[in-house]
Amino acid sequence: MRIATWNVNSLRSRIDRVEAFLERHDVDVLALQETKAREDQLPLMGLQARGYDVAAHGIDQWNGVALVSRVGLSEVQVGFPGQPGWGETLKSEARAIGATCGGVRIWSLYVPNGRKPDDPHYVYKLDWLARLREASTEWLDAPTALVGDWNICPTDDDVFDPAQFRNSTHVTPAERAAFQAFLDGGWTEVTRSYAPGYTYWDYYRQRFERDRGLKIDFVLGSPSLAERVNGAFIDREERAGQGASDHAPVVVELAD
């Protein structure tokens, strides 16, 4: 079974690329982030005609997450137990959707960006991660994958210029500790060993052409999921050319 995760940066503007990507790589389950649409706005007819089921959640033009599966899609859950709600000044609540696909529990996650370390969104990000980690301990005993845009660079190797990013969000010790807490708790990041390199490049300053990016999209597996992983890759081709998302998809291969 092939699972993929992709911050698509608007599903409506890239639905053709999504359909082509699924077929090009024979993907069974695709987790999407930053769909940037409410459920009723999503262009799903093409996917459904191709035999894919879709579960999506979005409440406005910001963010939004979805799961696309051709191996079944059941027990859909929007948000995780304890997921903190937003205050008056924070935007967009759609951050997590989970479902069982092909016997695997998959969560499409859009970890809050954080903006800046002195911003309320940064505090929310750390709170969100702490509550996800608490909720996710219950899922370790089953084959489970926590996939998506984590908006964290776990090491300096995951940043094209660590000096430039000092004191910025994505690289602070607190964010790295929040990510490490998942690993310490029993989750395994299953893509890095097979697929080194960045997964995100800013649109401006020709960051992709110069390979000046960040590694922020990850797949964390429970023990029974991680032991089935026998490959992974980053689809860098998808980031090239006109009309690309600023993230490349990450694909994971699971043994049957």
Partner DNA sequence: ATGGTCGGCTTCCGA
**Binding residues for DNA (CB under 7 A):** 9-10, 12-13, 34, 36-37, 60-63, 91-92, 112-113, 115, 121, 202-205, 243
As given in the structure block, the two tokens for residue 230 are 């026998």
Strand order of the β-sheet with 217-221 is 74-78, 96-101, 104-110, 144-149, 217-221, 188-189
Please state the closest distance from residue 128 (CB atom) to DNA, in A: 12
CB of 13 or CB of 188, closer to DNA: 13
Closest CA to 146 of 254, 248, 219: 219
CB of 139 or CB of 160, closer to DNA: 160
Please state the closest distance from residue 207 (CB atom) to DNA, in A: 9
Please state the closest distance from residue 139 (CB atom) to DNA, in A: 26
CB of 119 or CB of 227, closer to DNA: 119
Helices 120-136 + 173-184 axis angle, to 10: 10
* Residue 85 to residue 59: CA distance in whole angstroms: 13
CB of 62 or CB of 233, closer to DNA: 62
| 3 state SS of 143 | coil
Please state the closest distance from residue 170 (CB atom) to DNA, in A: 10
Please state the closest distance from residue 75 (CB atom) to DNA, in A: 28
CB of 7 or CB of 100, closer to DNA: 7
Closest CA to 133 of 120, 152, 118, 119: 152
